[in-house]
């Protein structure tokens, strides 16, 4: 992952230039990869299906290896975005919480889907975050083979580092196809994980408020 300032230009009135606070450029977040070879992935997908006794010779299955390759390439390719922040001019010091952010990733042990929701909140420090960026950060770390525990901590740690809030909380609840479709076949089961940092971890009242609003304590 590469993080670099997003360069932009703006026209300013020289009469008020000295009175205007400098604009902080958005942090450009880009996932660095070694490149995607769709042709090689399609060939490997065809060999994989054939090795499992599934012939791709029929008209309906002939294009399946290519569709598999493109589908996984999409799953593993997070979109770049700018981490837009703004001055906390009003000194807002209560929770900011985005609930029910969709999560979709794949289990790194079986490459089967993990689907659920994330609740991401923070206590603002000097700056506040564009709300859509909370969902963007979740998507960024979900677009790769994952385990839910790591995903939860990565989102929280990243926000704590780059936003510098007084606290961060992340709760993820998801269903794992590796549990529901195979093995124990625990249909309907879900897994909940949480990471709390700063005041959301150390202050009991704030922690209780966050967990209550996410439904983690219901």
3-state secondary structure the chain: CEEEECCCCCCCCCCCHHHCCCCCCCEEEECCCCCCCHHHHHHHHHHHHHHCCCCCCCCCCCCHHHHHHHHHHHHCCCCCEEECEEECCCCCCCCEEEEEEEEEEEECCCCCEEEEEEEEEEECCCEEECCHHHHHHHHHHHCCEECHHHHHHHHHHHHHHHHCCCEEEEEEEEEEHHHHCCCCCCCCCCEEEEEEEEHHHHCHHHHHHHHHHHCCCC
Catalytic machinery residues: 107-110, 148, 176, 178
């Amino acid at each position: 992952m590469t993080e670099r300032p997003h360069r932009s230009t703006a026209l300013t009135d020289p009469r008020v230039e000295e009175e205007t606070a400098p604009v902080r450029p958005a942090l450009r977040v880009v996932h660095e990869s070694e490149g995607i070879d769709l042709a090689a992935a399609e060939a490997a997908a065809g060999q994989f299906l054939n090795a499992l006794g599934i012939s791709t010779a029929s008209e309906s299955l002939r294009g399946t290896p290519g569709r598999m390759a493109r589908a996984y390439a999409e799953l593993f390719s997070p979109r770049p975005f700018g981490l837009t922040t703004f001055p906390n001019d009003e000194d807002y010091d209560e929770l900011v919480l985005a609930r029910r952010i969709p999560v979709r990733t794949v289990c790194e042990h079986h490459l089967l889907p993990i689907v659920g929701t994330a609740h991401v909140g923070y206590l603002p420090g000097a700056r506040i975050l564009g709300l859509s960026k909370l969902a963007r950060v979740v998507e960024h770390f979900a677009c790769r083979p994952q385990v839910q525990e790591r995903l939860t901590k990565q989102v929280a740690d990243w926000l704590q580092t780059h936003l510098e809030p007084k606290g961060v909380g992340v709760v993820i609840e998801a269903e794992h196809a590796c549990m529901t479709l195979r093995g124990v076949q625990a249909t309907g089961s879900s897994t909940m994980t949480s990471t709390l940092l700063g005041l959301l971890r150390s202050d009991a009242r704030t922690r209780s408020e966050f967990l209550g609003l996410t439904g983690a304590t219901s």
